[in-house]
A and B are shown apart, each in its own frame.
Chain A
Amino acid sequence: MSETPTDAAVTQGDTARVEKEAAAAERKAEPSGFGALLRGGAGHNLGLVLALALLALVGVLSGGERFGSVDNVMTILRLAAVIGVVSIGMTFVITGGGIDLSVGALVALSSVWCTTLSTQAMANDYHWIFIVTTALLVGAGAGLINGLLVAYGGVVPFIATLAMMASARGLAEIISARKTQIVSVPGFTDAFSRDIFGISLLIWIFVVVAVIGWILLNRTTFGRRTLAIGGNPEASRLAGINVRRHTVLLYVLVGLCCGIAAVMLISRTTVGSATHGQLYELDAIAAVVIGGTLLAGGRGTIVGTVFGVLIFATLSNVFVINNLSISAQAFTKGLIIIVAVLLQKRFSRQPGS
């Protein structure tokens, strides 16, 4: 905003240089392309692949056909889809040096706002797409407030989004009067319960969001700027990147992802509710961090996040299939998070990453 003469003096050349450096750093940290996947950051991904393979092995050994069947794989992917979309958005915010604790509450708020009687009436009169756009707008709008608070209000991301977490869930409860809002727009439920090539639309949405996220982070200026800002906001600012505007965009992006997740959750449950998305912030952060994105920012990986989400979804599934006691499941889950992060640290310390 209030740019000092020094800032103004920064040339376009500097911007390009910083972005190039960030890109170089990124290439070093997480190389793109198949060949590069095996080197460097692949140490990371290799650990994740191993972990997932190990889980799948446990699943097959203990569950056999029950685990390996196509139906079961689809069940795992459908479970992963909703939280996966949120986690992709979270990857951007964390890579950019921030954090968003409000994602679960935003899913709840979006789901409630787009299923109010008036929204449904309009959707019935015009088109079901009205529900979808409402959800996306609410998510993005709440994200915008988060972003403005962090970037221009100077509020620490942890606190700004903590406040949003409380307020958004409270607002969702006020709007819905803590009742479950059932969607009775036939077009909407029909459209989203569809399969494409035998695969649930929810899974396709996750795939599309992940691919777009990967391109955005690895192949665009936007992605390079995100990495630069997360790595060193001050240097990025001096190099002429509009750090504040970019930060706002990151929070809008994660808000948008929450809107998409809300639509997916509504299609899965046919209801909008203020209780939707409980503890999603923790699930998403866990998936992102296990995936190898640096919590301090400056390094991010979409592929890692996707693996992180799949690992948790598979874990839940293996638990159910093996009929483990309820408390043992929660205990093991925590244990596995620690083991995964320790393993990941060991892998990332190896040369070449």
Chain B
Amino acid sequence: MKLKSARLSRQTARRIGTGLVAGVAVLALSACISNTPEKSENAGGTSNAKAGSNDEAGDKVVIGFSAPAADHGWMGAISEQAKATGDSYEDIDLRLAEGTNDVNLQISQVETFINDKVDAIVLLPFDGAAMTPVALKAMQAGIPVINVDREFNDPNAARVTVLGDNYGMGVSAGEYVCEQAGGNEDAVVAEIAGIDSLPLTQDRSKGFKDALAECGLDVDNRVAADFTVEGGEKAAGNLLQAAPKIDFLWNHDDDQGVGVLAAIKNADRDEFTMVGGAGSANAMREIESGKGVLKATVIYPSTQAADGIKLARLLVQQKAMSDLVEVTVPRTIQLDAPVVTEENVDEFLPTAFES
């Protein structure tokens, strides 16, 4: 009997093993299929683009692109979207450098672009100040640099700067909370921040606080996580223990939000309204379903680098942004931080990133 059950369990184990292998294979396969970049709708640079429009194919533009390592959903999306945009134009030749958190390597990547005499460089620096000297070198060599998200410390180091709005994110989240509170000044507001020592986190929190102050609210409970799922779960677990009743919760980052939602589910809490940050696709699907506590998220665009690529192309082809009267590309572009709710989620879901 014992022997039989042992053999049986071994068989089961083997069967499970085979099943697992097959499962993993299917997963891997489906990952391959589902990750093939979708045909971009705004495919331009093709002969079927409207004549005279900015998307009409022009001279070949060689663009070098370098960004930090994709160790975070948002950062992964930055590179993905930049690549997809590069691929969608037949007049763009995009040179991608390996994503790295080592400034020494990132500098050498930009040096390689300079040696190659590319037409433009789109750069999301690991550290803005550390990449400034080599960006200056590129500009001096006559190669326009498009600085994305993390600013250089010398305005001469970039021709165009594309920035998100961290303070604005906090303001958007705060205004949404005020609107939902509807004048109730006793509402309990909690906040789960990202890495607390980063300037961007401080900006977000300041914006949130300022906007809440406008309607007489303040942050009652605040904890900081670290932009990871694991960190979000831990921080939210602690917060939920500390605050037995919450009315509103703002979580800075949808990547860590996966962990926050898990902790909320584990604690079996649903008395509050949660607002997310950054704008990942899974957060938006949660909002779309309307069933959970997550009712809104504030966008920090993961399309910044893609915009950088588009601007680089316009710059080199000496075109301008056609909806402005200005005949050249502007120096600084700061992106909006809109609030996504059940009503407008359809509008934002297509450009959201998968975390």
Partners in one complex: yes
Instruction: Give chain A residues whose Cβ lies under 8 Å from the Cβ of B126.
Output: 275
A271, B129: Cβ atoms under 8 Å?
Answer: yes
Which residue of A180, A316, A330 contacts B105 across the interface (Cβ within 8 Å)?
A: A316
B105, A276: Cβ atoms under 8 Å?
Answer: no
Distance, CA A329 to CA B95, complexed state (A)? 13
Which residue of A72, A271, A320 contacts B127 across the interface (Cβ within 8 Å)?
A: A271
Interface-lining segment among B130-138, B223-231, B282-290 = B130-138
Distance, CA A330 to CA B131, complexed state (A)? 22
Q: Which of A69, A273, A326 has the most CB of B within 10 A?
A: A326
Distance, CA A348 to CA B103, complexed state (A)? 35
B198 at the A interface (CB under 8 A): yes
- With A178-B197, A268-B107 already in contact, the answer to whether A275 and B116 are too (CB < 8 A) is no
Residue of A nearest to B66 (CB): A320
Instruction: Give chain A residues whose Cβ lies under 8 Å from the Cβ of B131.
Output: 269
Distance, CA A297 to CA B301, complexed state (A)? 51
Question: In A168-185, which residues have CB < 8 Å from any B CB?
Answer: 173, 177-180, 182
A69, B115: Cβ atoms under 8 Å?
Answer: yes
A75, B96: Cβ atoms under 8 Å?
Answer: no
B238 at the A interface (CB under 8 A): no
Residue of A nearest to B133 (CB): A270
- With A320-B95, A320-B109 already in contact, the answer to whether A268 and B104 are too (CB < 8 A) is yes
Q: Which of B105, B126, B198 has the most CB of A within 10 A?
A: B105
A319, B108: Cβ atoms under 8 Å?
Answer: no
Instruction: Give chain A residues whose Cβ lies under 8 Å from the Cβ of B102.
Output: 277-280
- With A178-B197, A268-B133, A278-B101 already in contact, the answer to whether A78 and B127 are too (CB < 8 A) is no
Residue of A nearest to B132 (CB): A270
Residue of A nearest to B79 (CB): A326
- With A66-B115, A69-B115, A83-B104 already in contact, the answer to whether A326 and B98 are too (CB < 8 A) is yes
A118 at the B interface (CB under 8 A): no
- Give the shortest distance, in Å, between A65 (CB) and chain B (any CB): 10
B111 at the A interface (CB under 8 A): yes
Distance, CA A3 to CA B274, complexed state (A)? 68
Which residue of B70, B103, B109, B115 contacts A72 across the interface (Cβ within 8 Å)?
A: B115
B53 at the A interface (CB under 8 A): no
With A271-B129, A276-B103, A330-B98 already in contact, 18 other A-B pairs whose C-beta atoms are closer than 8 Å: A78-B111, A177-B197, A180-B130, A182-B129, A269-B127, A269-B130, A271-B130, A279-B102, A316-B109, A317-B112, A319-B98, A320-B113, A323-B95, A324-B98, A326-B79, A326-B96, A326-B97, A326-B98
Which residue of B83, B112, B127 contacts A180 across the interface (Cβ within 8 Å)?
A: B127
Distance, CA A182 to CA B152, complexed state (A)? 11
Question: In A108-163, which residues have CB < 8 Å from any B CB?
Answer: none
Distance, CA A280 to CA B111, complexed state (A)? 20
Encoded as 1 (CB less than 8 Å from any B CB) or 0, chain A from 318 to 333 comes to 0111011110011000
A75, B115: Cβ atoms under 8 Å?
Answer: yes
- Give the shortest distance, in Å, between A265 (CB) and chain B (any CB): 6
- Give the shortest distance, in Å, between B154 (CB) and chain A (any CB): 10
A326, B70: Cβ atoms under 8 Å?
Answer: yes
Which residue of A79, A180, A317, A319 contacts B104 across the interface (Cβ within 8 Å)?
A: A79
Instruction: Give chain A residues whose Cβ lies under 8 Å from the Cβ of B130.
Output: 180, 269-271, 273
Question: In B111-163, which residues have CB < 8 Å from any A CB?
Answer: 111-116, 126-133, 153
B99 at the A interface (CB under 8 A): yes
**Number of A residues, CB within 8 Å of B:** 40
A71 at the B interface (CB under 8 A): yes
Instruction: Give chain B residues whose Cβ lies under 8 Å from the Cβ of A72.
Output: 112, 115
Residue of B nearest to A312 (CB): B105
Which residue of A178, A320, A330 contacts B198 across the interface (Cβ within 8 Å)?
A: A178
A82 at the B interface (CB under 8 A): yes
Instruction: Give chain B residues whose Cβ lies under 8 Å from the Cβ of A178.
Output: 197-198
Q: Which of A269, A313, A325 has the most CB of B within 10 A?
A: A269
Distance, CA A83 to CA B153, complexed state (A)? 26
Instruction: Give chain A residues whose Cβ lies under 8 Å from the Cβ of B105.
Output: 79, 316
Encoded as 1 (CB less than 8 Å from any B CB) or 0, chain A from 268 to 301 comes to 1111010111111000000000000000000000
Q: Which 3 A-B pairs have the closest CB atoms?
A: A269-B130, A79-B108, A178-B197
Question: In A68-82, which residues have CB < 8 Å from any B CB?
Answer: 69, 71-72, 75-76, 78-79, 82
Distance, CA A168 to CA B140, complexed state (A)? 37
Which residue of A69, A79, A270, A280 contacts B129 across the interface (Cβ within 8 Å)?
A: A270
Instruction: Give chain A residues whose Cβ lies under 8 Å from the Cβ of B127.
Output: 180, 269, 271, 273, 275
Encoded as 1 (CB less than 8 Å from any B CB) or 0, chain A from 201 to 219 comes to 0000000000000000000
Distance, CA A69 to CA B111, complexed state (A)? 13
- With A82-B104, A276-B103 already in contact, the answer to whether A329 and B98 are too (CB < 8 A) is yes
Distance, CA A222 to CA B111, complexed state (A)? 39
Residue of B nearest to A332 (CB): B98
Instruction: Give chain B residues whose Cβ lies under 8 Å from the Cβ of A265.
Output: 103-104
Q: Which of B98, B107, B109 has the most CB of A within 10 A?
A: B98
Instruction: Give chain B residues whose Cβ lies under 8 Å from the Cβ of A177.
Output: 197
B116, A66: Cβ atoms under 8 Å?
Answer: yes
Q: Which of B70, B102, B126, B127 has the most CB of A within 10 A?
A: B102
Instruction: Give chain A residues whose Cβ lies under 8 Å from the Cβ of B99.
Output: 326
Distance, CA A182 to CA B151, complexed state (A)? 14
Distance, CA A329 to CA B131, complexed state (A)? 22
Q: Which of B79, B108, B113 has the most CB of A within 10 A?
A: B108
Instruction: Give chain A residues whose Cβ lies under 8 Å from the Cβ of B94.
Output: 323
Residue of A nearest to B64 (CB): A320
Instruction: Give chain A residues whose Cβ lies under 8 Å from the Cβ of B153.
Output: 182
Distance, CA A278 to CA B108, complexed state (A)? 16
- Give the shortest distance, in Å, between B220 (CB) and chain A (any CB): 27
Residue of B nearest to A63 (CB): B116
Q: Which of B104, B128, B131, B133 has the most CB of A within 10 A?
A: B104
Instruction: Give chain A residues whose Cβ lies under 8 Å from the Cβ of B199.
Output: 179
- With A75-B112, A182-B129 already in contact, the answer to whether A269 and B103 are too (CB < 8 A) is yes
Distance, CA A76 to CA B129, complexed state (A)? 22
Instruction: Give chain B residues whose Cβ lies under 8 Å from the Cβ of A179.
Output: 199
B101, A269: Cβ atoms under 8 Å?
Answer: no
Distance, CA A83 to CA B108, complexed state (A)? 13
Residue of B nearest to A322 (CB): B95
Residue of B nearest to A316 (CB): B105
